[in-house]
Structure 1
Amino acid sequence: MKYRIRAYADSDVETLHELTLAAITTIGLAGYSRAQVNAWAGRHDSAERLRERVRSGHMVFVAVDTDDKAAAYALLEPDGHLDMLYCHPDHTRQGLADGLLRAAEDQALICGLAKLYTEASALARPSFERAGYVVTKRRDFTIDHDGQSVPIHNYAMEKSLP
């Protein structure tokens, strides 16, 4: 299947929210426990949060299929923080993460940023490493979910830009 990357449109918000939850609850189980996945997904409780972030200046790059349906996306904050990189389970292993990371980097260069940084899941870490990011530390923390404090981890990573 062919894909292209385009800018976010307001009509994408519900699809991207569903895509996020599908990615976390399906792909997430390859690297995290069910309790961790549920807690992680619980942090993405509404599509409106994404819409608000776009309104506040965050840039979203969307990989779409030939029918213009979102298959993956990345969210870049104005300071160079790449906060989201999610791919729908039906579209993994197609190079979408690599393309989205290139699009975010291109935009960061246009904006004159000196570096990009993220907190990557264990599952996304290889995509970031392929794009030239380096791990600065493993982050162990907890997420409060359903009355419990669920331990989870990710990786602080960064990439210096030319």
Structure 2
Amino acid sequence: MLDDLEIREATLEDLPEITSIFRDTIRAVNSRDYSEKQIEAWSSGADDTEVWEDRITNLYFIVAEYKNEIVGFAHVKKGCHLDGLYVHKNYQRRTIGSKLLRIVESHIMAEGYEIINADASITAVDFFDSHYFDQIKKQKKSYKGMGFASSIFSKEL
């Protein structure tokens, strides 16, 4: 557990650390569930600077910071859809993801929603199961010309 962990809203200045976490986590953690070509396509999304700037500027986007280093992030779109939650590859299984999720859930409830949805990788199934999400369906999602196994999750708040 990290007692000095701080959660705050992301700024554009955080972009390099956010995209680094995105790329490195996919390559180190998700690589156990997806092929090398899939990982290459997925992690290349870190280079889509305009997309990330738009997310930080227009979505509810938070970062977890530990000792002045960003160690995780989460963002919500369309009111109650958890669009992304990533934890630095060196900080996995230290409750950072759980803390980010709790803040996101509180935000969604404050916005008047009673449900949270997520479209998650197969790597994240255990995380969502452990946080009482229902797996609605398994699917194959297309990204950058590649098919990715994923699941849609939902939870009443």
Give the TM-score, by structure 2 length. Answer: 0.90
* 2:136 partner letter: T
User: Equivalents in 1 of 2:77, 2:147: separation in Å?
Assistant: 26
Structure 1 segments of 4+ aligned residues over 4 angstroms from their partners = none
Deviation at 1:63, TM superposition (A): 1.0
1:8-157 correspondence to structure 2 within 5 Å: 8-56=10-58, 58-66=59-67, 68-144=68-144, 149-157=145-153
* 1:157 partner letter: F
Give the count of matched residue pairs: 155
Quote the sequence identity (%).
22
1:133–1:158 Cα contact (<8 Å) kept: yes
Deviation at 1:98, TM superposition (A): 0.6
User: Equivalents in 2 of 1:72, 1:53: separation in Å?
Assistant: 15
Deviation at 1:78, TM superposition (A): 4.1
Deviation at 1:97, TM superposition (A): 0.8
Question: What secondary structure sits across from 1:43 in the alignment?
Answer: helix
Name the structure with the higher helix share: 2
* 1:63 partner letter: A
1:59–1:76 Cα contact (<8 Å) kept: yes
- Structure 2 unmatched ranges of 5 or more: none
User: Equivalents in 1 of 2:142, 2:9: separation in Å?
Assistant: 33
Deviation at 1:62, TM superposition (A): 0.9
